Structure 1
Amino acid sequence: MKKLHIIGLGLLGGSFGLGARQKFPELIITGTDANQKNLAEALTLGIITEAKEKPDADTDLVILATPADTLGDLVLKTLEQVNENTLVFDVGSTKAKLCALLTDHPKRSQYLAAHPIAGTEYSGPKAASADLLDKKVLIICELEKTDLHLKEKAYQLFEALNLKLRFMDPEEHDRHLAFVSHLSHISSFMLGETVLQKMEDDKNIFDMAGSGFASTVRLAKSSPAMWAPIFTENKENILNAMDGYIANLTAFRDKIAAEDSKGLFDEMAEINKIRDILDLGK
């Protein structure tokens, strides 16, 4: 692998660039971003070596790391630009629409649907880190539709960055992510909004908020530019997840209203099983 091109130089795109530079010092990394400030910062930080709108003809890999609602048009445009030896992969949080869009595309074999389960509540090139992807899970969808020779280029990068590969159907991916990622962000945003509405004195929030509140509301600091498109792109799955969440909140509220201490205890004890599941994944 000699050349890498990144479109979207924020947290994920930037981290791929920094990680790739660390593992492959001779690698030529070009890229672009719709935000000129991000582009300038990416050059300063060494995420890319040169700003370019389009990948060079001999580029090995093109990474698409832009908001979810832009990826459909972008992947079609990028596939038109690249030659037969270039692989294009995205790192978006939704996969079903993209995979369906490309089902009959003549260059479908040059596309890889990928999603790294990595990130922070911060955004932009300055939030990028060379080790952000280390030991993180990377979900790949419809692997069998990608050319064998081309996906080896991606595997070379994924292995170097120490990513743990998992394989999933795109619809299954979007359904699961609605519950374990997208709903988490919605919950955090809404908790933040509720507190801001009821506690107008910023000092009270600062003084009274403990570590539990800080960790629960952490995701409310995430970029709206990234998350608003995800919520609409995965609308059906997210609405289903929210319906279940709202029903559980209502039932829990009813137990509190009824002063059903035993019911509250039993329900929380049952939910504590999530601790064992999460500990297994460490």
Structure 2
Amino acid sequence: MELKKIHIIGLGLLGGSFALGIKKAFPSVKISGTDRNPTHLDEAISLGIIDEKSDHHPQGADIIIIATPVHTISPLLQKILDEIQPETLVMDFGSTKEEICKAISLHPKRQNYLAAHPIAGTEYSGPAAALPDLLLNKIMILCELEKTDLQLKAKAYEIFEALNMKIRFMEPHDHDNQLAFVSHLSHISSFMLGKTVLDKMENDKNIFNMAGSGFASTVRLAKSSPDMWTPIMQENKTNILEALNGYIKNLIDFRDNLVNDEYEELFDKMKNTNQIGNILDLKK
């Protein structure tokens, strides 16, 4: 199957990296794109991320990618599905899936949509942050695959295979719930650790002179874009609250152990948690 035209809406880290990865794997594919930020659109052209600007998806596009903040995806998806031709596949890269899948569940062109989420990213945003190998060898989560037309999803698989992506299948609710724990919670933790130290800095101006690589790696995600993450918190509120409640309970238990000089309990907690290193190593 020969891919000829791809259109990308949202030319930040994920959308831009996807475009660069496609150009590397399929040099003959023409990529058009649009972004609500005119500066990003100009950057995407100058950096060679897209071949041309286009506010409207081209007729006969093989694939349209929506890589915008999650609260914008459902209305965009509805509009695009209304307009596309039968041979076009639409994918979104949103970090939440349940509400999006519900929103278009009864659309007459539901078979033209593939709910996708690449597990890849950095703390940086915008076209300048895009990397041609960001998606290479990464996991691509697909939801409700059975609802997508067989021939259309073959187009997506051609790209996934070219990027050597590892495909995982999940139900939308399970996706959102698990991402709340392993992605969304880690961003909240990073943001709030950064805030706690910034609050401390108001009285101790030199505190960051004490910060080493451990602190830097722990607060790395606090540099992430609030424009992207605030909508994620809103869309996935219920699951994030579940994750936060468990996290806060563990913090309170840790604090109480410290208050009560229960150092054996603290040792056991930290020792038991060491196993996460082995688990993560196995996932590489």
Q: Name 2:105's counterpart in structure 1.
A: 103
- Deviation track 1:83-133 (CA, whole Å, cap 9, x = no partner) reads 000000000000000111111110000000000000000000000000000
Q: Name 2:144's counterpart in structure 1.
A: 142
TM-score in terms of structure 1 length: 0.98
Gaps of 5+ in 2: none
Q: Name 1:268's counterpart in structure 2.
A: 270
Structure 1 pair 27–202 and aligned structure 2 pair: CA distance change class (3 A): farther
Separation (CA, whole Å) in 1 of partners of 2:207 and 2:124: 21
Separation (CA, whole Å) in 2 of partners of 1:201 and 1:2: 59
Note the C-alpha offset of 1:201.
7.0
Note the C-alpha offset of 1:157.
1.1
Name the SS for the 1:189 alignment partner.
Answer: helix
Separation (CA, whole Å) in 1 of partners of 2:148 and 2:211: 49
Matches within 5 A, 1:235-246: 235-246=237-248
Q: Name 2:170's counterpart in structure 1.
A: 168
Residue 49 (structure 2) pairs with residue 73 (structure 1): no
- Deviation track 1:197-225 (CA, whole Å, cap 9, x = no partner) reads 01237862432101110000000000000
Q: Which residue of 243, 253, 256 corresponds with 1:254?
A: 256
Name the SS for the 2:176 alignment partner.
Answer: helix
Conserved? CA contact 1:15–1:131, under 8 Å: yes
Query: Which AA in structure 1 matches 2:31?
Result: I
Q: Name 1:128's counterpart in structure 2.
A: 130
Name the SS for the 2:219 alignment partner.
Answer: helix
- What percentage of residue pairs aligned between the two structures are identical? 62
Q: Name 1:154's counterpart in structure 2.
A: 156
Separation (CA, whole Å) in 2 of partners of 1:8 and 1:62: 11
Separation (CA, whole Å) in 2 of partners of 1:244 and 1:11: 31
Q: Name 1:24's counterpart in structure 2.
A: 26
Query: Which AA in structure 1 matches 2:45?
Result: L
Note the C-alpha offset of 1:275.
1.1
- Deviation track 1:27-46 (CA, whole Å, cap 9, x = no partner) reads 11001000000000000011
Name the SS for the 2:33 alignment partner.
Answer: strand
Q: Name 2:233's counterpart in structure 1.
A: 231
Separation (CA, whole Å) in 2 of partners of 1:201 and 1:38: 38
Residue 188 (structure 2) pairs with residue 207 (structure 1): no
| Root-mean-square deviation (Å) | 1.0
Q: Name 1:33's counterpart in structure 2.
A: 35
Greater mean alpha carbon deviation, residues 50-59 or residues 29-38:
50-59
Q: Which residue of 119, 122, 129 corresponds with 2:121?
A: 119
Name the SS for the 2:80 alignment partner.
Answer: helix
Runs of 4+ deviating beyond 6 Å: none
Name the SS for the 1:100 alignment partner.
Answer: helix
Q: Name 2:49's counterpart in structure 1.
A: 47
Q: Which residue of 216, 221, 224 corresponds with 1:222?
A: 224
Note the C-alpha offset of 1:53.
0.9
Separation (CA, whole Å) in 2 of partners of 1:187 and 1:90: 26
Conserved? CA contact 1:54–1:81, under 8 Å: no
Structure 1 pair 134–273 and aligned structure 2 pair: CA distance change class (3 A): same
Query: Which AA in structure 1 matches 2:112?
Result: Q
Query: Which AA in structure 1 matches 2:140?
Result: L
Greater mean alpha carbon deviation, residues 153-162 or residues 124-133:
153-162
Name the SS for the 2:57 alignment partner.
Answer: coil
Separation (CA, whole Å) in 2 of partners of 1:181 and 1:209: 24
Separation (CA, whole Å) in 2 of partners of 1:215 and 1:45: 29
Query: Which AA in structure 2 matches 1:219?
Result: L
Q: Name 2:198's counterpart in structure 1.
A: 196
Separation (CA, whole Å) in 1 of partners of 2:283 and 2:4: 35
Conserved? CA contact 1:8–1:32, under 8 Å: yes
Name the SS for the 2:215 alignment partner.
Answer: helix
Residue 98 (structure 2) pairs with residue 83 (structure 1): no
Separation (CA, whole Å) in 2 of partners of 1:203 and 1:19: 43
Separation (CA, whole Å) in 1 of partners of 2:212 and 2:205: 13
